[in-house]
Structure 1
Amino acid sequence: MKSFKYVDYLWDQDRAAQLENNQVDLFLYRSNILGADLRITNYGGGNTSCKTIEVDPLTNEEVEIMWVKGSGGDIGTLKRSGIAGLYTKRLRDLKNVYGGLNDEDRMVGLFNHCIYDLDSKAPSIDTPLHGLLPFAHIDHLHPDALIAVAAAEDSEKVTKEIWGDTMGWVPWQRPGFDLGLQLEKCLEDNPGIRGIVLGSHGLFTWGDTSYECYMNSLEVIEMASEYIEQKSNQKGSVFGGQKIESLPKVARLEKAAQIMPLLRGLCSSENRMIGHFSDNDVVMEFINSNDLERLAPMGTSCPDHFLRTKIQPLVLTLSKNEDLSDSNAILKKLTPAFEAYRKEYANYYNTCKKDNSPAIRDANPVIIIYPGVGMFSFAKNKQTTRVASEFYINAINVMRGAEAITSYTSLPRQEAFDIEYWLLEEAKLSRMPKELPLSRKVALVTGAGGGIGKAIADKLAAEGANVVLTDIAEDRLIEANATYKSDVATYAVCDVTSTASIKAAYEKAILEFGGVDIVVHSAGLAISKPLEETTDKDWNILQDILVKGQFNLAKQAVAILRKQNLGGDFISIASKNGLVSGPNNVAYGTAKAAQQHMARLLAAELGGDKIRVNTVNPDGVIVGSKIWEGDWAEGRAKAYGITVEELPAHYAKRNLLNEIIYPEDIANGVFSLVAILNKTTGNIVNVDGGMANAFVR
């Protein structure tokens, strides 16, 4: 075991020994542990490879095959399905047909003629960088420390100062076949080097075995990190010192929750966006510094950074102590800043574009900085916006390191544009899967710890939404939340009878995802008693949870939806009992009727805001429904003169379709209202198998 201060040594000898007979699996293992440390490379950044001897199925001869991360993959999660296997000789033979820098795009298509493994992922533009080097194992990484060296003024001189003659250096060049030739020449001119620093880009290291390659990468990164720390200590203050102090943590989160829906609305002028908030120490040190105004407009250097963060952030001029309570006043202050950013981005596009450049993309900022408060990012989904935030934090680390060494340099705008609007990058975007119907939307569901509420959350998430699960029981929420993939869901303990608890739940939704688009009030309970047995307590709890809870949920949701100015949906899960009179049901039926009419009243009031309010009326959802676990089932069985065990069959037989109604059926009703019936408001959708006495017309 080796001890490292600036990177994590994660190599498990026992695990590696199990993979020793399969070099491709060992290469995947190396890739995964490298990608597990964000200081080494971020999500989707860098690529790794290995070369093995295989039998050619056409000749039965032994040939060298290169296995390399395919296009669009991530080394931290890389699997066999994400790599490409190519004949190394064929790839090197492409030198015979390469026509220079203007031939780069054609070369990528020719990589397919080098494919050995027919199940290969599409080869990336970095494929020749690995193929033209002779080493069995190669890592191309984007460590913050190495990009700091690569982005520093006098980068080549600094490289020599750190590693002497053991490292090569090549100036910035867009990735492609020619850069592979430059790496090959650098090695020929400097035999015996252990790696190459790519100007303004990253690092190449290698080894004869997967472990040697891994150790080489860690040692090179460690040396750069030590050098930067020494320079930082000599220099003293970072980023020119602190200009303003951060607000306390609680105050920062409060400010962020207040302003984030406004920012989301402004960022969504072309396409609805999902948000992410960060206020860690690295972020706060940079955004509160004297050098923020100088460094932020320079933009990022590494292509992986600015492809995800845009060329530069938007820095807000609001005071950290700004009163954000008047949304309209704050919007008037923010709007000119966004308009100026969009205009500047359009100018960048128009100045740098070429005859065949793709059309201009969304001109809104991805990264927004609020000094004293924190950093916001907005993108098409949670993973993309979280990764954008992480990449900008990498960029901050790069700027800090480069400033400590000499001074930070960014890519020229034309070079950045040629990467951002590369036709190959556009082709990659066009291959992305079609977005799901509820992609880019955030849904908050009450009563989502189980039963109907959980089924609704499941359906909305499956159709692309981010979901915020709320319930009064945290144990149920933890269990429910664990069923979703990362970046899909979060939870908040919420008592809908408490306005403060509702406020906290909405703040959780805002801080996690940027705002809210869909609110489903599914929380509830049922009490079935004759009039003479119905107590004030029974009456009040039903009114508080079902009616007052709906009122406060809607009131607070509307304030957020109006800030965003993107419209929205409020869905009330009521009941057939709000329409149909029946015995032993006065308190529950009255509350459900109030829910239904409140939804109609809200629909009439909020239509001008494009906020649609509708109701789903279940009936007889016995299987999987929480309310049937208590006294309600016994009460209904008593009312109908049957046993509890006979209830499912009883409810199925009494509807016109003779169908059992499941929680998933209610979820489908909600989905239809928020995704399909997008010009419907004030409506009631009965999901009851057909109850003639509950027909609303």
Structure 2
Amino acid sequence: MNETVQELLTRSNRLGADKENTNYAGGNTSAKGTTTDPVTGEPVELLWVKGSGGDLGTLTEPGLAVLRLDRMRALPKVYPGVEREDEMVAAFDYCLHGKGGAAPSIDTAMHGLVDAPHVDHLHPDSGIAIATAADGEELTRTIFGDRVVWVPWRRPGFQLGLDIAAIKNENPQSIGCILGGHGITAWGATSAECEANSLEIIRIAKDYLAEHGEAEPFGPVQPGYEALPEAERRSRAAALAPHIRALASADKPMVGHFSDDDAVLDFLARAEHPRLAALGTSCPDHFLRTKIKPLVLDLPADAPVEDAIARLQELHEQYRADYQAYYARYADQDTPAIRGADPAIVLVPGVGMFSYGANKQTARVAGEFYLNAINVMRGAESVSSYAPIDESEKFRIEYWALEEAKLQRLPKPRSHAGRIALVTGAASGIGKAIATRLAAEGACVVIADLDQAKAAETAAGLGTSDAAIGVGVDVTDPAQITAAFEAAALAFGGVDLVVNNAGLSISKPLLDTTEKDWDLQHDVMAKGSFLVSQAAARIMIAQQLGGDIVYVSSKNSIFAGPNNVAYSAVKADQAHQVRLLAAELGEHGIRVNGINPDAVVRGSGIFAGGWGAQRAKVYGVAEEDLGAFYAQRTLLKREVLPEHCANAVAVLTSAELDHTTGLHIPVDAGVAAAFLR
């Protein structure tokens, strides 16, 4: 790897790893250097700059855009002016070196036109606090003297790059600038010097705010708005989560994230939070994720939950009307269609912050950005007053044609993207296969299992970052089921898809089957499925998004076999629960279906737990040959694996079968006696 590139990546990763420097996917860095042109064999000057959509903390070489500096420096000659500056983005394509690496971002001009070998553009809370202060320009002179220069607000783009380049040339003593309403930019002759200059600006701004800032810029605590005790706070959050998700998903289903960070709770307890929240965020990276302002519940922390829900619904109607009016004020014939009028951030005093996005990462990052915004407001209010960019400028960026093009380049969502699944008995066998498949299709997944340690291990092994959690749950215990669904609500906002898979089997003849054997199997599979479905239905109805409940029943629910009266009877119970609940829950858009597997030997916790040995004895075959034995009695002569059950669940819960409910799908390779009649 080129030494300049290695230095750039090392610097970027260090800066991006600390949220005091910049937030996830925020900011960009660059380096200029010389390499050999593979065509001419001559030296060529290049710009390496973080590409569009990348994250500094995890940046690697493929995430860099690579452009020729001679062509970048020639761009001002063809620049048609600020009214047509967006056209210059297409010109970057003619500056690429070879395949060019990642797509160049809108900030590429800043990095290419500034006359410095290394440039950092970051969004630190301390820097944005100065940038959004009403007297930010004066504060910049007071805090930094002539080492850091003020740049008035301008939308990111080619003209901003020209502005910063001119300011650097006019101020050779400067190490960087404060971008009004936006962030900071720093430069240096070496990578180390550039990083040091960035960190100096951040540190000096932070120290100034700490030394000169008012201690409580958000005002006094409002009685009744203080943070509730943790257990009460999280219980209330779980109760509110499905209802709030319904509001955030009125236009399009969203995944949620909950945060009760101390800074959020303190902000909501203070007298000034309604005024400041109404002003919205300022940094473009912030409001593109959070929308221009949050929805804020205006009730004390201990208001009855029912009152809070009713008031949130009223405020949601008002929020949607305000957002649609905002769109109407600034949209013209060229503006992209409105992208939805629901809030991305909902703030509940005493409880915390609910943030929403198309997936878990987007929802979590939206919350992180609003936490940044709170820190920015605190800093600006402590030394001045918070003055974000004008609403019209926010609209120009939110509905920017270039932002719309960026959104259109996103890959098509996977089949279960934005859905939240809870699978019982998911740490092994069929349940694990189902959870793995749903996660691969884009769902957030709650791995619910009697063995909490294995549930956590399975969740960690799905490779879906923070989009899977493991919870321990005994499905015969209503309290544990409630706790599992509360965990789902706090992690992801609610639940859309539940798979009743937890089960066990005891193979005995009728005369050897004890009452304990009967009760255990009915408690786990009949009662357990009933309790899980009941808890799921409460949340799904509150969310108003429909949903799916799937029962993993069995071929035995249809076909009578020897020596398993308790197991087969309880599977028949489950099968009829499907029919009953499909009839009852259809009016809420909740589909209830089942799958009927048979002889899933490999990977099965039930078979490994003794059922396999018992069935092998019944059929007079070696236990290791049981799968092959079962396969030979099927019409297709194929062994059934957990993955085949997972395939059936994925199809049943996909959009392709969204008009299907009350159905049982055999997953048995063809057992004629179990055909549904």
TM-score, normalised with respect to structure 1:
0.95
Give the Cα–Cα distance (whole angstroms) in 1 for the partners of residues 93 and 663 of structure 2: 55
1:516 to 492, 495, 501: 495
Displacement after TM superposition at 1:331 (Å): 4.6
Give the Cα–Cα distance (whole angstroms) in 2 for the partners of residues 502 and 236 of structure 1: 44
Give the Cα–Cα distance (whole angstroms) in 2 for the partners of residues 255 and 457 of structure 1: 28
Answer whether contact 2:427 2:458 (CA < 8 A) is retained.
Answer: yes
Answer whether contact 2:296 2:348 (CA < 8 A) is retained.
Answer: yes
Answer whether contact 1:137 1:206 (CA < 8 A) is retained.
Answer: yes
2:483 corresponds to 1:504: yes
Answer whether contact 1:367 1:375 (CA < 8 A) is retained.
Answer: yes
Q: 2:444 corresponds to which letter in structure 1?
A: N
Displacement after TM superposition at 1:208 (Å): 2.0
2:225 corresponds to 1:230: no
* 2:569 corresponds to: 590
Q: How does 1:201-280 map to 2 (within 5 A)?
A: 201-232=182-213, 235-243=214-222, 244-280=225-261
Q: How does 1:157-196 map to 2 (within 5 A)?
A: 157-196=138-177
Give the Cα–Cα distance (whole angstroms) in 1 for the partners of residues 408 and 27 of structure 2: 22
Give the Cα–Cα distance (whole angstroms) in 2 for the partners of residues 645 and 63 of structure 1: 66
* 1:414 corresponds to: 392
Give the Cα–Cα distance (whole angstroms) in 2 for the partners of residues 396 and 288 of structure 1: 13
- SS in structure 2 at match of 1:549: helix
- SS in structure 2 at match of 1:117: strand
1:599 to 566, 578, 602: 578
2:23 corresponds to 1:42: yes
Give the Cα–Cα distance (whole angstroms) in 2 for the partners of residues 132 and 586 of structure 1: 79
Displacement after TM superposition at 1:533 (Å): 1.5
List gaps (5 residues or longer) in structure 1. 1-18
* 2:32 corresponds to: 51
Q: 1:103 corresponds to which letter in structure 2?
A: R
- SS in structure 2 at match of 1:630: helix
Q: How does 1:244-323 map to 2 (within 5 A)?
A: 244-323=225-304
- SS in structure 1 at match of 2:470: strand
Give the Cα–Cα distance (whole angstroms) in 2 for the partners of residues 92 and 528 of structure 1: 79
* 2:511 corresponds to: 532
Q: How does 1:522-601 map to 2 (within 5 A)?
A: 522-601=501-580
Q: 2:231 corresponds to which letter in structure 1?
A: V
- SS in structure 2 at match of 1:369: strand
Cα-Cα RMSD: 1.2
2:616 corresponds to 1:637: yes
* 1:8 corresponds to: none
Give the Cα–Cα distance (whole angstroms) in 2 for the partners of residues 611 and 443 of structure 1: 14
- SS in structure 1 at match of 2:85: helix
The number of equivalent residue pairs is 673
Give the Cα–Cα distance (whole angstroms) in 2 for the partners of residues 221 and 645 of structure 1: 65
Displacement after TM superposition at 1:330 (Å): 5.3
Give the Cα–Cα distance (whole angstroms) in 2 for the partners of residues 318 and 615 of structure 1: 43
* 2:667 corresponds to: 687
Displacement after TM superposition at 1:61 (Å): 2.1
1:678 to 658, 663, 677: 658
* 2:67 corresponds to: 86
* 1:393 corresponds to: 371
Displacement after TM superposition at 1:565 (Å): 1.2
Answer whether contact 2:67 2:100 (CA < 8 A) is retained.
Answer: no
2:332 to 337, 354, 368: 354
Displacement after TM superposition at 1:478 (Å): 2.2
Q: 1:33 corresponds to which letter in structure 2?
A: R
Structure 1 window deviating more from structure 2 (117-126 vs 395-404): it is 117-126
Q: 1:50 corresponds to which letter in structure 2?
A: A
Displacement after TM superposition at 1:615 (Å): 1.0
Displacement after TM superposition at 1:315 (Å): 0.7
Displacement after TM superposition at 1:318 (Å): 3.2
* 1:14 corresponds to: none
Q: How does 1:118-129 map to 2 (within 5 A)?
A: 118-129=99-110
Answer whether contact 1:84 1:117 (CA < 8 A) is retained.
Answer: no
TM-score, normalised with respect to structure 2:
0.98
Cα gap change, 1:580 to 1:514, in 2 (>3 Å): same
Answer whether contact 2:456 2:469 (CA < 8 A) is retained.
Answer: no
Give the Cα–Cα distance (whole angstroms) in 1 for the partners of residues 33 and 43 of structure 2: 10
2:132 corresponds to 1:151: yes
- SS in structure 2 at match of 1:377: strand
Displacement after TM superposition at 1:485 (Å): 2.1
Q: 2:187 corresponds to which letter in structure 1?
A: W
Displacement after TM superposition at 1:655 (Å): 0.5
- SS in structure 1 at match of 2:666: strand
Give the Cα–Cα distance (whole angstroms) in 1 for the partners of residues 54 and 154 of structure 2: 22
Displacement after TM superposition at 1:119 (Å): 4.2
Displacement after TM superposition at 1:688 (Å): 0.2
Answer whether contact 1:81 1:119 (CA < 8 A) is retained.
Answer: no
Answer whether contact 2:297 2:311 (CA < 8 A) is retained.
Answer: no
* 2:632 corresponds to: 653
- SS in structure 2 at match of 1:544: helix
Give the Cα–Cα distance (whole angstroms) in 1 for the partners of residues 350 and 96 of structure 2: 52
* 1:403 corresponds to: 381
* 1:110 corresponds to: 91
* 1:10 corresponds to: none
- SS in structure 2 at match of 1:50: strand
Give the Cα–Cα distance (whole angstroms) in 2 for the partners of residues 28 and 425 of structure 1: 26
Once the two structures are superposed, what CA deviation does each residue of 1:414-456 show, in whole Å capped at 9, x if it has no partner? 1111111110011001111111111111000000111110100
* 1:462 corresponds to: 440
Displacement after TM superposition at 1:333 (Å): 3.0
Give the Cα–Cα distance (whole angstroms) in 1 for the partners of residues 642 and 521 of structure 2: 21
- SS in structure 1 at match of 2:30: strand
Q: 2:145 corresponds to which letter in structure 1?
A: G
Give the Cα–Cα distance (whole angstroms) in 2 for the partners of residues 361 and 434 of structure 1: 17
Give the Cα–Cα distance (whole angstroms) in 1 for the partners of residues 308 and 577 of structure 2: 31
Once the two structures are superposed, what CA deviation does each residue of 1:537-578 show, in whole Å capped at 9, x if it has no partner? 211110110000001001111111110111111111011111
Once the two structures are superposed, what CA deviation does each residue of 1:42-97 show, in whole Å capped at 9, x if it has no partner? 11110000111012234322121000011111111211111111111211111111
Identity of aligned residues (%): 51
Give the Cα–Cα distance (whole angstroms) in 2 for the partners of residues 172 and 331 of structure 1: 39
Give the Cα–Cα distance (whole angstroms) in 1 for the partners of residues 20 and 332 of structure 2: 36
- SS in structure 1 at match of 2:536: helix
Q: 1:488 corresponds to which letter in structure 2?
A: A
Give the Cα–Cα distance (whole angstroms) in 2 for the partners of residues 26 and 534 of structure 1: 71
Structure 1 window deviating more from structure 2 (639-648 vs 400-409): it is 639-648
Q: 1:680 corresponds to which letter in structure 2?
A: T
Displacement after TM superposition at 1:336 (Å): 2.1
Give the Cα–Cα distance (whole angstroms) in 1 for the partners of residues 670 and 10 of structure 2: 56
Answer whether contact 2:419 2:444 (CA < 8 A) is retained.
Answer: yes
- SS in structure 2 at match of 1:469: strand
Answer whether contact 2:149 2:174 (CA < 8 A) is retained.
Answer: yes
Displacement after TM superposition at 1:528 (Å): 0.3
Displacement after TM superposition at 1:671 (Å): 1.0
List gaps (5 residues or longer) in structure 2. none
Q: 1:669 corresponds to which letter in structure 2?
A: A
- SS in structure 2 at match of 1:647: helix
* 1:67 corresponds to: 48
- SS in structure 2 at match of 1:197: strand
2:58 to 34, 57, 77: 77
Answer whether contact 2:226 2:301 (CA < 8 A) is retained.
Answer: no
Give the Cα–Cα distance (whole angstroms) in 2 for the partners of residues 664 and 29 of structure 1: 42
Displacement after TM superposition at 1:145 (Å): 0.2
Give the Cα–Cα distance (whole angstroms) in 2 for the partners of residues 269 and 617 of structure 1: 35
Answer whether contact 1:477 1:491 (CA < 8 A) is retained.
Answer: yes
Structure 1 window deviating more from structure 2 (202-211 vs 454-463): it is 202-211
Answer whether contact 1:30 1:210 (CA < 8 A) is retained.
Answer: yes
Q: 1:213 corresponds to which letter in structure 2?
A: C
Give the Cα–Cα distance (whole angstroms) in 1 for the partners of residues 112 and 583 of structure 2: 65
Q: 1:507 corresponds to which letter in structure 2?
A: E
